[in-house]
A and B are shown apart, each in its own frame.
Chain A
């Protein structure tokens, strides 16, 4: 799927998922990620219970919902950091349920974390280099013989430096990552994720704890990912950001997908408003959803 290179608002973008009818489990023309019957329980609590979900290739999809809706759990399940009790899902047409996290990354799905996980006692550049896939020097025996990996290391370094420059971290390359500010850590984590050459980037609250001055920069970076052909799925609380950059919004509450559609439509959906404001806090959400929907 191709996109115009200039940053664009969702409204004037070429035909994409936003032209589709919304509703939980809506079909997409070219889904990169398809989830079916995914369930995760913690004791008696059903943390995630998603019947069907598709994520459109090359789009920016936001995953929103009140606290405890199961967004991060869903992220952990999809990226192999947690085990599902039931369910299957495919990434790029291949079934990937039960595949360990590190192998998913190699097949092109990378994630960031809600609390940034920069590697504090490693330099910014070493953080970046670690992200590069298929390094010859990561094998135990080849590691001993520098000539076997020196050239690849140089290529990796060049790629890392280019990305650092793009994320305005070039000057920090030799600093310990632990000395970066909160916003710089978010940038580093995103840049490091790109070192894996992903096709799909999953961002868990990319704006949390970032000062407002940096927000626009981060938004631009996320848009650039899409413009470079990557699929972005992100969890976010900041509604302005969601409205600003997402092509499609998926709303979760109490572990279920209760609504999805283009941002403007979804945010005026009474079920979504209820989920956030708790208008029917004493009634089961899915029940109220069915009443409210035409």
Chain B
């Protein structure tokens, strides 16, 4: 087995596109679930609105990149309002049901042949990233050191992605340390208590849903621009549940938890993938084929998550004292 390939793959996963995208999606979920207690199971929908909004406006309508970004963000806020208006006055589980259903409706609509003219059906849309790469200030060439070597286009995506992620973390940090963030945590702990102290719980939940959704939409932008295409099946329920995994790994209600969680998640997936493949190729593992490796590594991730929940339920960064408190 080629151990240097194993390590190189792991190192590129550490800072790669997937890490950025899932970290962003999880930063949004952290605001929803970690700080406000909203169960959003449709983060994929917010990412899809961003990706498709951008792709349709730029590729199909031929409008400039900023218009595409604005369309994605506007769509994201509209989606929050549509999901939040009927459900945020109800118990938390109604939002969960509405969001997971909305996400699937969007994905299935996007891949339907009826809408192929706009969404490209199952094959999606491509050819909308040139305006983005035209903004790239880096001259053509290869950059980087050690295992991290990129062409100017890939590096540009990563630089923009990490910048967006850093800005989102900064904004979330500023928000959650403020009295506004305190109201969110009050709502998470007990909605009626917050209401009984004069807080307009509904308005705060709406704001949290919209902001976390917009961060999910930014994840969609980065994903679409990094992949150079949008495909409906990239925005399935796995995206949402991987983002939750990332969030739990890193530690709920910690600003940098999602970033660390995403890095660990993708590094571990990369390691298990290359190591298992190598082991099969070397003939060390005889009971499976290389095509099965892709599935087995997710089983291992599931197993690891179970052990994490058993032995460190607060995640990597979480505060163990919070878990020790009784529910009441």
- Asked if A102 is at the interface of the complex by the 8 Å CB criterion, the answer is yes
Query: In the complex, which residues of chain A have a beta carbon less than 8 angstroms from the beta carbon of B171?
Result: 144
- Between A111, A115, A137, the greatest number of chain B beta carbons within 10 A of the residue's beta carbon is seen for A137
Query: In the complex, which residues of chain B have a beta carbon less than 8 angstroms from the beta carbon of A81?
Result: 192, 195-196
* Nearest A residue to B201, CB-CB: A102
- Between B186, B207, B326, the greatest number of chain A beta carbons within 10 A of the residue's beta carbon is seen for B186
With contact pairs A121-B189, A149-B178, A178-B325 given, residues A105 and B183 touching in the complex (Cβ less than 8 Å): no
Question: Are B198 and A133 in contact (CB-based, < 8 A)?
Answer: yes
Question: Are B174 and A113 in contact (CB-based, < 8 A)?
Answer: no
Interface positions, chain A 117-135, Cβ under 8 Å from B, are 117-122, 126, 129-131, 133, 135
* Nearest B residue to A120, CB-CB: B325
Query: In the complex, which residues of chain B have a beta carbon less than 8 angstroms from the beta carbon of A131?
Result: 197-198
Query: In the complex, which residues of chain B have a beta carbon less than 8 angstroms from the beta carbon of A179?
Result: 321, 325
Question: Are B185 and A126 in contact (CB-based, < 8 A)?
Answer: yes
- Asked if A283 is at the interface of the complex by the 8 Å CB criterion, the answer is no
Question: Are A117 and B196 in contact (CB-based, < 8 A)?
Answer: yes
- Asked if B149 is at the interface of the complex by the 8 Å CB criterion, the answer is no
With contact pairs A121-B322, A144-B171 given, residues A130 and B196 touching in the complex (Cβ less than 8 Å): no
A137 vs B199: C-alpha distance in the bound complex, in angstroms?
13
* Nearest B residue to A112, CB-CB: B196
* Nearest B residue to A136, CB-CB: B179
A1 vs B121: C-alpha distance in the bound complex, in angstroms?
74
- Between A149, A178, A192, the greatest number of chain B beta carbons within 10 A of the residue's beta carbon is seen for A178
Per-residue B-contact encoding for A233-255, CB less than 8 Å = 1, 0 else: 00000000000000000000000
Distance (whole angstroms) from the CB of B270 to the closest CB of chain A = 34
Question: Are A122 and B200 in contact (CB-based, < 8 A)?
Answer: no
A199 vs B239: C-alpha distance in the bound complex, in angstroms?
50
- Asked if B151 is at the interface of the complex by the 8 Å CB criterion, the answer is no
Main secondary structure of the interface of B (DSSP, over half): helix
- Asked if A56 is at the interface of the complex by the 8 Å CB criterion, the answer is no
- Asked if B92 is at the interface of the complex by the 8 Å CB criterion, the answer is no
Question: Are B180 and A138 in contact (CB-based, < 8 A)?
Answer: yes
With contact pairs A117-B190, A130-B186 given, residues A144 and B174 touching in the complex (Cβ less than 8 Å): yes
Checking B175, B186, B200 against A144 with a beta-carbon cut-off of 8 angstroms, the contacting residue is B175
Query: In the complex, which residues of chain A have a beta carbon less than 8 angstroms from the beta carbon of B195?
Result: 81, 101-102
- Asked if A140 is at the interface of the complex by the 8 Å CB criterion, the answer is yes
With contact pairs A138-B180, A140-B207, A179-B325 given, residues A120 and B189 touching in the complex (Cβ less than 8 Å): yes
Question: Are A122 and B175 in contact (CB-based, < 8 A)?
Answer: no
Checking A79, A120, A133 against B196 with a beta-carbon cut-off of 8 angstroms, the contacting residue is A79
* Nearest B residue to A129, CB-CB: B182
Question: Are B185 and A192 in contact (CB-based, < 8 A)?
Answer: no
- Asked if A15 is at the interface of the complex by the 8 Å CB criterion, the answer is no
Per-residue A-contact encoding for B300-328, CB less than 8 Å = 1, 0 else: 00000000000000000000011001111
Question: Are A139 and B198 in contact (CB-based, < 8 A)?
Answer: no
With contact pairs A81-B192, A122-B189 given, residues A135 and B326 touching in the complex (Cβ less than 8 Å): no
Question: Are A111 and B179 in contact (CB-based, < 8 A)?
Answer: no
Query: In the complex, which residues of chain B have a beta carbon less than 8 angstroms from the beta carbon of A178?
Result: 325-326, 328
- Asked if A161 is at the interface of the complex by the 8 Å CB criterion, the answer is no
With contact pairs A117-B193, A117-B196 given, residues A143 and B325 touching in the complex (Cβ less than 8 Å): no
- Asked if B181 is at the interface of the complex by the 8 Å CB criterion, the answer is yes
Query: In the complex, which residues of chain B have a beta carbon less than 8 angstroms from the beta carbon of A103?
Result: 198
A-B contact pairs, 22 of them (CB 8 A): A100-B200, A102-B195, A115-B328, A117-B190, A117-B192, A118-B193, A120-B189, A121-B325, A122-B185, A122-B186, A122-B189, A126-B185, A129-B179, A130-B182, A130-B194, A138-B199, A143-B175, A143-B178, A144-B175, A149-B178, A179-B321, A195-B197
Extra A-B contacts (6), CB below 8 Å, given A117-B192, A137-B180, A178-B328: A79-B196, A101-B195, A102-B198, A122-B186, A138-B183, A195-B197
Top 3 nearest A-B pairs (CB, nearest first) are A178-B325, A105-B198, A137-B179
Give residues in B with beta carbon < 8 Å to A: 171, 174-175, 178-183, 185-186, 188-190, 192-201, 207, 211, 321-322, 325-328
